[in-house]
Structure formats: C-alpha cells, structure tokens
Amino acid sequence: MFIKEYFGTIFNSVKSLLTGMKLTGYYFTHQNKIITEEYPDNRATLIIPERFRGEVIMPHDENNEHRCTGCQSCELSCPNGTIKIITQQEIQPDGKKKKRIHTWVYHLDMCTMCGMCVTACPTEAIKMGNEFEHSVYDKSQLKKILNKPDSKLKQGVED
Amino acid sequence: MKLLGEDIVTETGEFIINMGPQHPSTHGVLHLKIWLDGETIKKIEPHLGYIHRSIEKMSEKMSYRQFIYLTSRMDYLSAHMNNQACALVVEKALQVEVPERAKAIRILLAELSRIGSHLLWFASVGLDLGGVTPFFYAFREREAINSLMEENCGARLTQNFHVPGGILEDVNPDFQKRVKEVIKQLKDNFHEYDEILTGNVIFQNRLKGVGYLSKEDAISLGCSGPTARASGVVCDIRKSNPYDGYEKLEFDEVVLTGGDSWARYQVRMAEMLQSIKIIEQMIDNMPEGDIVAKTKNVIKLPKGEFYQRVETARGELGVYIVSEGAATPYRCKYRSPNFANLSAIPIAAKGGKIGDLIAIMATVDLIIPDIDR
C-alpha cells in the first residue's frame, strides 16, 4: 500500500508538471498566437480608442477661433485645481465691453484625467485628447497654455 | 546586536526582521515586523502609513460630483466598484432612481473589472510563489478587459465612469459584440490556468494547509470577500444587500470551508466563472433608454447619515457620509476591505514558516493603497 502511494505521488507529480510543460510548449511552437505589442516601434500602427483621456485640448478652427467664453465652469469643476483661466475685458466692434479669455492655463502635472471639466463645459470648448506620451525633462514644460496666440472667440457661441 | 537603537534579538531569543516596505514579494509598500524563532513566525505587526494620502479628508473639501474619482485611487483594481459605491450613496441620499440601462452597464463593467482584478491576482500569486509563466497567460486576458474599458470608459484602470444618477456617457455601439469576444476568449483559455498552475503539484503543496484562518477568526476580525468566504463565512453583499439590480441575477455565492490558502485560491478561481455567468445573463438583454437620471448641477444632500456598501473584488467596501445639508460632505469614511483582511495575516501566519508568509499574503490579496487611503 505504501509503495503504491509512493509511486502514485511521483507519477502524479510528473504528470502535472508535464501538463504545464505541454501548454508552454504549445505556445512556443505556435508563433502566430503571440499577442505582444512592441510598443515604441509600433507607433505608426498603434490604435488609441477615441474616448481615451490623455490630456485636455482646446480645438481651434481654421480661422484661429475657439469656443471658450471664459465662464470658468471647468475651473470650478476640477477637483485638483488643474485649470486656471485668466480673463480680461475686451472692447467689441460695437463699442461694448465683454469678458474674454486671456490665457487658459492647464497644469498637466496636476491633472488626473477624470474628464469632469469636459462634462462641465457648456459650450464644448474643451475635450480630452488621445496623446499619452507626456514625459518631459523639466516639470515646467507641463504647464500649458491652451488658447493659441491671437485666437478669438467664435461668433455665435456666446448666444 | 542593535539596529536603529532597537534590539534585533529579544530577551527570549526571538529574532526581529522587517519585511518591506520595499520587499519585492510584498505588494505595494506594506511593512511587516516579524518576530522569528528560527524559521517559525511568533508574531507579526503590520506597520502602516507609507502611502497615506488622506482621501477621506480630501473628500470633505470636494463636491459630491468630485469626490467619486478619488476612490479610484484606493483599490485601483476595483476602481469601478469603488466609484459605484460613492455614486450609490449619493443616489440613496437624494432618492434618485437610476435608469435600467445605466444599472445594466454598471453591473457589466463591475463584473468585468472583478474578473480583471482576479486575473491580476492569479498572475501575482504565481509570481510570488516562483512561477513566472502563469503571469503572461493571465495578462493576455486582462489586456482584453482593459482594452474594453479603455474603449468605453476612456481609461484602463481609473475609469471614473460613474456620476450621481447614472453613468457618464453611453457605451459604444459595438459594446455587446466586444464583451462577447472578451468572454469567449476568457472561457476558451480558462482551462489553461488550471493546466499551468492549479494542477501543478509544487504549487498545491505550497498552498494546502498553509495559513489556516478559522471561521470564528474571520468573523471577529471583520474579514470579507473571498478571504472570508474561503473560511466558510457567507458574506457576499451582492446576495445579502443587493444593489443596482443584482437581485434579478442568478449566480452562486462561492463558499468553501477549508480556510487555508488553497481554499482562498479556489474561491477566487470559482468567482471568475460566476462573474462570467452574470455577464452572459446580462449582455443579451440590456435595456434601452436613458443612461443618467436628472440631478441638480450643485448636489446638496439632505441632513443626515448615509451608508452604502458594495462587494468589490476583495470584499465589502462601505461608504459612510455625514451630511450637514451643504454641497460637501461633513464627514466621509470608507470601510475598506483590505484593512480588515490585513488583520487576518498575523493570525493566519502565526506558527507557520516565514516562507509560507508569502503564500498567505499572496492569497489574501492585499492592495496597500486601500489599507492606508
């Protein structure tokens, strides 16, 4: 009885190890089953889903116009204080003074990509971009100004 | 001999060593102070505080829309379930009825993240006990789940897909097709996990009879989740206090009575299959309709105390909110599953060998940021 048990254990142990070896052997010989992506080399074919939240961007159209009215909803909705909007009074062609954004400061180093600013924006001025390679050598480069120089508010957004 | 002004050999001849905070076999920055008699563990004292970020205090400064995202950083593998708990407590206080479609999507994504979490645990339990190969097999399926999350929620781990009253945006039109693909891949490959790790005799010998936690201890220490269910405690919140429509679903609560590391391993493997069962029931009859119930722009909870618990991948997460009627919580307290499960380690490892401590820590499946918060 003891001998039977002893050899039974050895047999079962070897069998269980061979079962695992068989599986690894299968993948060793079936190269087409490999799904590893060689990341830095496959940048050209890399597909990032449209919804992926990588950074906050402010789209500008061909006339260098954006949709941000400077209402600061995003600034209030941000849990981390990532966004700082500096506004100024601009004299319009009809002579009236109106509030316009001067600089739209985005601290990427403080952003956790929760996307709450995009949800809060009433004019769809900002959205989440797909860029994810954010590494830089100096932290100060992560402070970004999203409105382009000399950009204007698009006509009709405010109404 | 002295180390940092402290005797490393006690008067009774016990040898004190520190495991962590940077020991590669510990997950995260857990620091265990261990009193050893030869190789036998006499006493273990966990030291906490290395990754404390004061999430509870920060929540008190945030609005009820903002504080949800912070909980993704507690148990990062169950981020979806953590967010769900916070959204549910706000909905409970406001007495908002969540649309059926939002509930279905919540459950589907929660069960997918539960599978993803258990797959990472499966990978790391093999890794901790010296088997590198199972890691890659588990990560193949986990990558499919994470890609699905990335396509629909916008992030792979910290999804932040919940808003009070529903979910952030509707899922992609091909969501059902993609979930079916992931589930098919998982079901086709599940037998490989059993072949490469479960059946392995060396692996079984390292887990069987190691780290016994009795049912009485599990209850008195407040353990929950798979750790407690392996000791015979019936504690699945999805069954006892159903939320978001779990009461309509058919699934089994996996309860084993072994209490050792091997039982904890088996519970988690069986739970993955139960999660697949839940997803298969839901995926073909997802209701149509709204995805978010209407709530005010600035949410103010009525005065009072609110508590909601959910079953995360590691056990019971409770969110307790005291509201004074303002736009921010007066007090926010999280009852995290890992903190209670951590207290099982000194009991389970006492009297065992130091090598077995790694097996116990691997099968209890601790996430350190959830302990400290």
| Gap between the Cα atoms of B80 and B141, Å rounded | 18
Calculate mean pLDDT across residues A43-67: 85
Q: Residue B131: helix, strand or coil by DSSP?
A: coil
- By CA distance, what is A16's nearest residue in B? B200
Instruction: Please indicate whether, in this complex, the C-beta atoms of A16 and B199 are within 8 angstroms of each other.
Output: yes
Report the residue from B70, B154, B200 with minimal CB separation from A20: B200
- By CA distance, what is B150's nearest residue in A? A52
Block residue for tokens 């999430």: B55
Instruction: Please indicate whether, in this complex, the C-beta atoms of A17 and B200 are within 8 angstroms of each other.
Output: yes
In single-letter form, the type of residue at position B165 comes to: G
Please state, as a whole number, how many other Cβ atoms lie within 10 Å of the Cβ of residue A2. 6
Interface of B with A (CB under 8 A): 62, 65-67, 69-70, 133, 140, 143, 147, 150-155, 158, 160, 163, 168, 172, 192, 195-197, 199-202
Distant-in-sequence, close-in-space partners of B153: CB < 8 Å, separation ≥ 6: A51, B80, B109, B159, B160, B161, B168
Domain-by-domain residue ranges, chain A? 2-35, 55-153
Instruction: Please indicate whether, in this complex, the C-beta atoms of A23 and B70 are within 8 angstroms of each other.
Output: no
- By CA distance, what is B141's nearest residue in A? A35
User: Which CATH class, in words, describes the domain spanning A55-153?
Assistant: alpha beta
Q: Helices in B154-220 by DSSP H: which ranges? A: 175-193, 201-207, 215-220
- Give helix B100-128 / helix B354-364 axis angle, nearest 10°: 170
- List the Cα angle B114/B119/B121 in 5-degree steps: 95
| Gap between the Cα atoms of A37 and A91, Å rounded | 54
How far apart are the CA of A84 and the nearest CA of chain B, in angstroms? 17
Domain-by-domain residue ranges, chain B? 52-372
Contact B186, B111 (CB under 8 A): no
Instruction: Please indicate whether, in this complex, the C-beta atoms of A19 and B195 are within 8 angstroms of each other.
Output: yes
Please state, as a whole number, how many other Cβ atoms lie within 10 Å of the Cβ of residue B246. 20
- What pTM does this model have? 0.88
Task: Mutate one of A23, A46, A119 to test the B interface: name it (highest B CB count within 10 A).
Answer: A23
Calculate mean pLDDT across residues A11-34: 85
Distant-in-sequence, close-in-space partners of B365: CB < 8 Å, separation ≥ 6: B121, B125, B226, B227, B264, B268, B314, B341
Which sign, positive or negative, has the C-alpha torsion B223, B226, B227, B229? Answer: positive
Instruction: Please indicate whether, in this complex, the C-beta atoms of B154 and A53 are within 8 angstroms of each other.
Output: yes
- The size of the A-B interface in CB pairs under 8 A is 65
Block residue for tokens 């010998």: B205
Contact A128, A53 (CB under 8 A): yes
CATH number for the region B52-372 comes to: 1.10.645.10
How far apart are the CA of A104 and the nearest CA of chain B, in angstroms? 21
Cα distances (Å, whole numbers) of residue A146 to A60, A130, A155: 10, 15, 19
pLDDT at site A121 = 86
Residue range A121-144, pLDDT digits in tens: 888 888 888 888 888 898 888 888
Which residues face A55 on adjacent strands?
A: A129
Instruction: Please indicate whether, in this complex, the C-beta atoms of A113 and B150 are within 8 angstroms of each other.
Output: no
pLDDT at site B2 = 64
Residue range A69-121, pLDDT digits in tens: 888 888 888 888 888 888 888 787 777 777 788 888 888 888 888 888 888 88
| Gap between the Cα atoms of B28 and B42, Å rounded | 24
Distant-in-sequence, close-in-space partners of A150: CB < 8 Å, separation ≥ 6: A64
pLDDT at site B190 = 87
In 3D space, the residue among A45, A15, A96 whose CA is nearest the CA of residue B199 turns out to be A15
Q: Helices in A30-89 by DSSP H: which ranges? A: 73-77
φ, ψ (nearest 5 deg) of residue B3: -135, 120
pLDDT at site B5 = 62
Q: Helices in A30-120 by DSSP H: which ranges? A: 73-77, 116-120
pLDDT bucket at A60, cuts 50 / 70 / 90: confident
**Mean pLDDT for each consecutive 10-residue tract of chain B (373 residues)?**
67 79 66 86 85 86 86 86 90 88 89 90 86 86 89 86 86 87 88 84 85 88 88 87 85 86 89 89 85 83 88 89 87 88 88 86 85 83
Is the complex ipTM higher than 0.85? Answer: no
How far apart are the CA of B14 and the nearest CA of chain A, in angstroms? 37
Q: Which phi-psi region, left, alpha or beta, contains residue B166 (left: φ > 0; alpha: ψ -120 to 50)?
A: left
